[in-house]
């Protein structure tokens, strides 16, 4: 079984929904091209689930992922393209 990465969606989710210690409770899938721009410029990104937020943290292995983002990502066609 092989794994394919969609070029327009980063497999590394980004976080929102912070806990009291400023650690995100959940991470979201966002367009790869927008992650660096958001981190540097402070612009907001739109997750696959529609949530809008600035990128402030990177997930650690095993971090919880937004179930809606995961469902959408898993149903995207392989190969991708576009923006």
Whole-structure pTM value: 0.62
CA proximity to 83, closest of 6, 5, 2: 6
Would you place residue 77 in the very low, low, confident or very high pLDDT band (cuts 50, 70, 90)?
confident
User: Which pLDDT belongs to residue 79?
Assistant: 67
71: CB partners within 8 A, 6+ apart: none
pLDDT in tens, 4-14: 444 455 545 55
Q: What is the dihedral of CA 29, 33, 37, 38, to 10 degrees?
A: -10
User: Which pLDDT belongs to residue 70?
Assistant: 93
pLDDT in tens, 43-67: 999 999 999 988 888 888 888 999 9
């Amino acid at each position: 079984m092989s794994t394919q990465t969609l070029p327009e969606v980063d497999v590394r989710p980004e976080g929102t929904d912070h806990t009291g210690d400023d650690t995100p409770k959940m991470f979201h899938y966002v367009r790869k091209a927008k992650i660096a721009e958001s981190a540097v410029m402070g612009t907001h990104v739109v997750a696959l689930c529609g949530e809008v937020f600035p990128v402030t943290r990177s997930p650690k292995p095993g971090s919880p992922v937004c179930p809606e983002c995961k469902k959408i990502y898993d149903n995207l066609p392989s190969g991708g393209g576009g923006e």
